Amino acid sequence: MRMRRYAASVALGTLFVVAGAGPAMAESPEEVDPLVVQMLEDVPGGVLVDATHAEWPELGMALTVPTAGDLSARTASGSCASGLICVYKLPSLSGAFLSYSGCGVLAVPGDWTVRSMDNNRASGYAQARNVTTVLATANAGSWTNVGGTTTNIRCVF
């Protein structure tokens, strides 16, 4: 009698493990962040990198939407890689950001709100501007909060 119960328990346990393993093993693809989708629709030439990143190679521009893990991994210069200029949607280098690898007058997409800027270059300065009016300036290796409506970033070596 004990043997039958043991065999039935093992069979039932195996059934639950096998039945339960199917859905756990089948992972659905990560859903693309809505901000990434919007930017890809608004700015032509973009390439989806993953669920939280897109790039525009011809513009030298990339979008990064931080995940919960990214928010706790800040460096002294935000999340902006060395040699780039980054503009953030929130003050104090927070939230989603656009990074620019080029220099000159860099267009900011129309729906993008700039609230802080990081100039993570070794020399020169970057200006957040509304057409030609300077809203904020960040010297090399520094950052600043930005007020007003930014239409472009001017980078000077």
Q: Domain total for the chain?
A: 1
Q: Render pLDDT for 93-107 as a digit per residue (tens, 0 to 9).
A: 999 999 999 999 999
| 25 domain-assigned | no
| 3 domain-assigned | no
| 4 domain-assigned | no
Residue of 118 and 8 predicted with greater confidence: 118
DSSP tag of 66: -
Q: Render pLDDT for 52-80 as a digit per residue (tens, 0 to 9).
A: 999 999 999 999 999 876 655 444 446 89
Query: What phi-psi label fits residue 124: left (phi over 0), alpha (psi between -120 and 50 degrees) or beta?
Result: left
| 130 domain-assigned | yes
Q: Which domain holds residue 110?
A: 30-156
Task: Round to whole Å and give the CA distance between 90 and 146.
Answer: 9
